[in-house]
Amino acid sequence: MNKLPSSCKFILQFLKYNEILSAQELHERMRLSSSKAPSLSTTYRSLEILLKEKQVQSVEFRDGEKRFELVKIGEHHHHLICETCGTIVHMEECSIIHWKNRISEEHGFLLKQHVMEMFGLCNLCTTVTDQ
């Protein structure tokens, strides 16, 4: 429970769980709601701090744009993203944890972090795409 710069606290008030935003989207949202919103650079800097504090996780889609998501401190999870309609399913549990030991044994690796996102078609789009 470090004391965070005020910009970080400001940001936290504008993030909801299960919502994935880029730094720019977040900044835009804050700017529209308040004249005391932190600048874009500060937004970037603060998100970096919140990442280190694990109050936020970063989500990497494939467009090279980093996105961020509020999490319960220290937790994280992964997503299913529909390539057609953009629907995002937040998977409650990170299954990679189950491999940690196996990977450790097989490759002598101690896992620290990972990146994982899955792309496909959601239920609705699967049926629709039968064209």
82 binds, among DNA, a second copy, none (CB under 5 to 8 A by kind): a second copy
Q: Please say whether the beta carbons of 29 and 14 come within 8 A.
A: yes
The pair of three-digit structure tokens given for residue 103, joined into one six-digit string = 């990977």
96 binds, among a second copy, DNA, none (CB under 5 to 8 A by kind): a second copy
117 binds, among DNA, a second copy, none (CB under 5 to 8 A by kind): a second copy
Q: Please say whether the beta carbons of 78 and 94 come within 8 A.
A: yes
Distance CA 4, CA 35 (A): 21
Q: Please say whether the beta carbons of 71 and 77 come within 8 A.
A: yes
Task: Please count the CA atoms within 13 angstroms of the CA of 77 that sit on its side-chain side.
Answer: 17
Distance CA 91, CA 111 (A): 20
| Interface with DNA, residue 61, by CB under 7 A | no
Q: Kindly write out the interface string for residues 47-86 of this chain, putting x where it contacts a second copy by CB under 8 A and - elsewhere.
A: -------------x-x-x-x-------------x-xx---
95 binds, among a second copy, DNA, none (CB under 5 to 8 A by kind): a second copy
Distance CA 23, CA 16 (A): 14
Q: Kindly write out the interface string for residues 84-113 of this chain, putting x where it contacts a second copy by CB under 8 A and - elsewhere.
A: -----x-x---xx--x---x---xxxxxxx
Q: Which residues bind DNA (CB under 7 A)?
A: 3, 5-8, 22-24, 37-42, 44-46, 48, 64-66
